[in-house]
Each structure stands twice: as C-alpha cells, then as structure tokens.
Amino acid sequence: MSHPVKLGLIGCGVAARELHWPALQAAAEEVELVAVCNRTAQKAQHFSAMAGGVDWYVGWEELLARPDIEAVDIVLPATENLLATRAALKAGKHVLVEKPLAPTAEQAQAMLDLAQAWPDRVTMVAENFRYAAVFERMRNWLDSGEAGRPYALNWNAMMLMREDNRYISSGWRASEAFPGGLVLDAGVHYMAVVRDLLGDITRATASPSQINPHLGRYDGAAFALQTASGATANINLYFSVAAHSEWRLVLLAEKGSATYDGRTLIITDASGKAREWRRDDDDGYASELRAFTRAIRSGKPVSSSFAAGWRDMLPIVRTMAAPGEWVDLR
C-alpha cells in the first residue's frame, strides 16, 4: 500500500472507543485517523484527545466536507446507518458501517440501493466475526477437505445483559425504530458465521422471547436453520439468563468435529487426535479494518459487503415477523 487511507470516524461512543479505536491503532500502517465527530461535543473532544489530538466536529457535515478524508467508519446506532451512509457516499467517501446493516428490511434495501448507486465506492459492514482468526481456521479446515462434509452446527450463547451495561444503556436497541431488539443486533454475528461455514441459509424458524424489555422487543430466541449445503444449524441465543452462563459452538462433520468456547478452538479428527488453538486476536476488528482499507486501494470486492450484511440479517428479520413458522429465504 502506497500510503495509509485517511479516515474520519462518525460516532464516538463506547463501541468506537473500546472496539474500533484499538483496531485503528493495530492497523496504523494502513489507516490514519484524521478526524472524529459526535453530536455531543464532550465525547468528540474526549475521543480526539485519546487519539492524539485529531480534529473533532459536532455532527458529520464538516467532517464529510474535508477533501483529504477518503473514507469513514460509521459507529452509530443502526437506526442512523442509512442517513449517515447516504451523506457519506454523496460526499464521495468509502463507507465502513457498524453492524447490523439496518434496523429493518426496508432500510436494508435502501442501503443496498445506495451501494448499487455508488459502485466506485467501497461499502462494507463491520461484521468482525467474519474476519476473526478462529473462524478463519475453521473455514480453512472445512475447505481443506480433511473434515469431510459438515452436517450440523449447534451454538449456545446464554448470558445476562443488564440494562446498565455500557453497551446497552444508550437504549436505542429497545426503541420502536429497532424492532429486532438485541437478538437482531447481536444475532447477525452468529448468522454470519453459519453462512461462512455452511453456506447460505435457505430456510429458518425461530421461537423468540422477551424477559427484559430494556433489551428490546426480543432478548432471546431459539433458531433452527437449514443451509444451502444441506447442513443444519441450531442457535440458542438468550441475553436475560439469570442463573446460567454458556457460550459454546460445536460443529460436526463426517470426519471430525470443532468446538469453540470463545477462548479455545479444538479440532478433532476421526481418530480422536485433537489440535488446539487459543484465541490470539481481537475477534477480527483489526482484520476487518485492514480488509476495508485494502479494498479501497485494490478495488477488489469485500466479503462483508452490504449484500452480505443483508443476508446476515435476513433469517432474523423474516423469522421474527413470523414466530414459530418455517420461512423460505431463497
């Protein structure tokens, strides 16, 4: 790469500070943060100071007007993704937007329309699981043929997310503008992994639940999925679990299995021989940022496109609209 991509950050909240800023530091050889903006001046100033005194703005208009800024990292509530993305593309910027792509199917379609209207711009969803090293190892294991045909994936993600959690307390996930609640916001991570490992999701059903209204219309769901490869997946995703905590993925294939608990990946072959890896990255945040900047310089399409972001949303949006029913997603 000839020189780092000059980047503007839109949104200086907790995700920007704790997730995106460390990734920007890790990828400093490929991306240079030159300005930030936030509707609250205090947050913008704080982030600017943390980032070494980069320029800061209240609102994104001045930031987008700067000709030296090539791209923007939009780290806002999903309810604002469409408005911010449209403004950034009109200003000639490449766009990395925090997942999920949109709060509704209608806004997701509008995001897809924007990507088609500006084909010379890189438009990418920040789905970090798609770039996490552990899932890349699992994909490589399947692609090598060593595992044979994968036929089932089971994933239990059960935890307690309190209303005062720093990622929850802003409240937008429980607003009427975001009808999928925390199940949509977090669930796209799990759908992205299923799609990357087993192929596109063709049919799905879900039984949603709401225990804590502060987490949105839905704060839990059991998903059953069928994929293009013929493999099935079951995801139990619950965020208001008072007396149990579990996060474990199990992938079954003809000639082996893989398990991952968020810390350790174990791949076992048919003979019982196991290989083990400890998680050694930031769950893909730096890698997704590097993929974004390299696409800007190379012109090659990204794997986490707006279209991919929509397909990650699709099983959740469609099944939440028809709880308990099997929905065809082809």
pLDDT of residue 167: 87
**How many beta carbons lie within 10 A of that of residue 54, not counting itself?**
17
118 has a pLDDT exceeding 50:
yes
292 has a pLDDT exceeding 80:
yes
| 8 A C-beta contact, residue 102 and residue 125 | no
87 has a pLDDT exceeding 90:
yes
Q: Whole-model pTM? A: 0.96
263 has a pLDDT exceeding 70:
yes
DSSP assignment letter at 175: S
**In a 10 Å sphere around its CB, with 0-12 CB exposed, 13-18 middle and 19+ buried, how is residue 280 labelled?**
exposed
| 8 A C-beta contact, residue 219 and residue 239 | yes
- Residue 169: both structure tokens together: 């307390």
pLDDT of residue 200: 97
CA distances 105 to 66, 122, 164, 190, Å, are 32, 21, 29, 18
Tens digits of residue pLDDT in 14-62 = 999 999 999 999 999 999 999 999 999 999 999 999 999 999 999 899 9
Tens digits of residue pLDDT in 202-254 = 999 999 999 999 888 899 999 999 999 999 999 999 999 999 999 999 999 99
Tell me, rounded to whole angstroms, the distance of Cα 288 from its chain centroid: 10
CA-to-CA distance for 159 and 246, rounded, in angstroms? Answer: 7
1 has a pLDDT exceeding 70:
no
| 8 A C-beta contact, residue 308 and residue 134 | no
Tens digits of residue pLDDT in 34-44 = 999 999 999 99
pLDDT of residue 50: 96
Q: For all residues of the chain together, what is the average pLDDT?
A: 96
186 has a pLDDT exceeding 90:
yes
pLDDT of residue 233: 98
